[in-house]
Structure 1
Amino acid sequence: MRVTGVEELLELLDGVFEGRVDSTSRAASEHWDGILLREGHPLNTELPDARRRTEAVEFLEVDFLREEVPGGPYDLVYDSGCFHHLAPHRRLSYVKALREVLAPGGYFGICTFTAGLMGSDEPDDVLMRSGRLGEGVGYTEVELDEMFSWLELVDSGPMAKYGANANNPVFTQDFLTVALFRNPAKAAA
């Protein structure tokens, strides 16, 4: 096969990784069940990582890398654990898809592995040569700000430990970073 387009190149690069490159797809649910349902795993919980603030919010779960996104653009896009499992070259597809579905003035929230606490800290060239992501990739707040530089950073930091109590149980882990961005683009007139 000769590469004649960007998507063909991305698919070719997918083959560099040991079957984990597509672990973010719905087809990988068996893989994740084996990990996340394991007794004692820190992510084996039913607790929400974002509490509902209003009943007027409609939630849509969609794989915007592989599925057509109905409606949109959207005022809020939230990623809870996908981004840090993408191979370096697939981040390009992710950013392209995010640009397409995030409304001007809309918000993008992300919960991802923290560099030094969870996931690989190896540079992308090392990840590409090794063909392994391990359990994922850890990011610093600066790296997230650079990755989504076309958005305005509203806030970022370690996942807060506060808020989880008997009356208001929510999921928190200190190996996760959360960030909120805003799309500064203006709506088409």
Structure 2
Amino acid sequence: MQMLDDYLNNSQIHWDDFYSNREEKVPFFENKPDENLVSYLAKGLLKDGNALELGCGPGRNAIYLADNHFHVDAVDLSEESLKWAAERAIKRNLKINFINQNLFKLHIKESHYDLVYDSGCFHHIAPHRRADYIHLVKESLKPGGYFAITCFVENGPLGGSDISDWEVYRVKSLQGGLGFTADKLKRIFHDFDCIEIRKMKNVHEDELVFGVDGILTAIFQKRA
């Protein structure tokens, strides 16, 4: 695994550099939760409990979950993003456990979480790490717990490369992030029950939630 990580390393995004300019016009820098996540709580699908966010960035979804009575562990590889997230949480007087760690070196609490949430991390995971990723989600969730994800639509307006898994290693690149379809997500996460897969709603920038074209949203449930 480490050999393949190193093989692709030069093509990976340097996340500390990415988050260092907070004035950059990046849509998901806005401190707003994903519209799909908000919808899950509004419909009563998710309630309070323990939540693990994978690749939390500057903390917008972790903050929303904490503000809705979740106990949140939020993980990111970028120290710079977590500094920003912690500042935001302090301003809201919210307690969130931010963890600066590689997902695949993370020591998780087994069967501890009611929700595992991933907003834009999975499409940066190389194919050889998917089995580890699925294992992490399965081990961390309680039976009946939920796993929700947002990722690039294949060949969407935000990118979403449609290259094959084999091609990733031939060109030594994820090409900015891999794209997915509903069928691909169902196939990859076939060990879970699929509750919903849909495109993210494109919402106006004045609204209190985040939503743009080119993102696929999905929520799955761990079988009891």
TM-score normalised to the size of structure 1?
A: 0.78
The 5 A counterparts of 1:1-189 are 10-20=1-11, 29-33=15-19, 37=22, 39-49=24-34, 50-51=37-38, 52=64, 55-62=68-75, 64-70=103-109, 72-117=111-156, 118-161=159-202, 166=206, 168-184=207-223, 186=224
Larger Rg: 1
Count how many residue pairs are aligned between Structure 1 and Structure 2.
168
Q: Distance in 1 between matches of 2:198 and 2:208?
A: 20
Which residue of the partner structure matches residue 5 of structure 1?
none
In 2, Cα distance between equivalents of 1:71 and 1:182:
16
Instruction: Give the distance between the partners of 1:71 and 1:96, measured in 2 at CA.
Output: 11
- What SS does the aligned partner of 2:106 have? coil
In the aligned structure 2, how far is the partner of 1:132 from the partner of 1:61?
Answer: 27
Q: Distance in 1 between matches of 2:15 and 2:142?
A: 29
Q: Identify which of structures 1 and 2 has the higher relative contact order when contacts are C-alpha pairs closer than 8 Å and 6+ apart.
A: 1
Percent identity at matched positions?
Answer: 30
Contact 1:88 1:128 in 2 (8 A): no
Shift of 1:66: 2.0
Q: Structure 2: give runs of 5+ residues left out of the alignment.
A: 39-63, 76-100
Unaligned runs of 5+ in 1: 1-9
Decide whether aligned partners of structure 1 residues 70 and 31 sit closer, same or farther in structure 2, where only a CA change above 3 A counts: farther
Q: Per residue, is there more strand in 1 or in 2?
A: 2
Aligned-pair CA distance for 1:47: 1.8
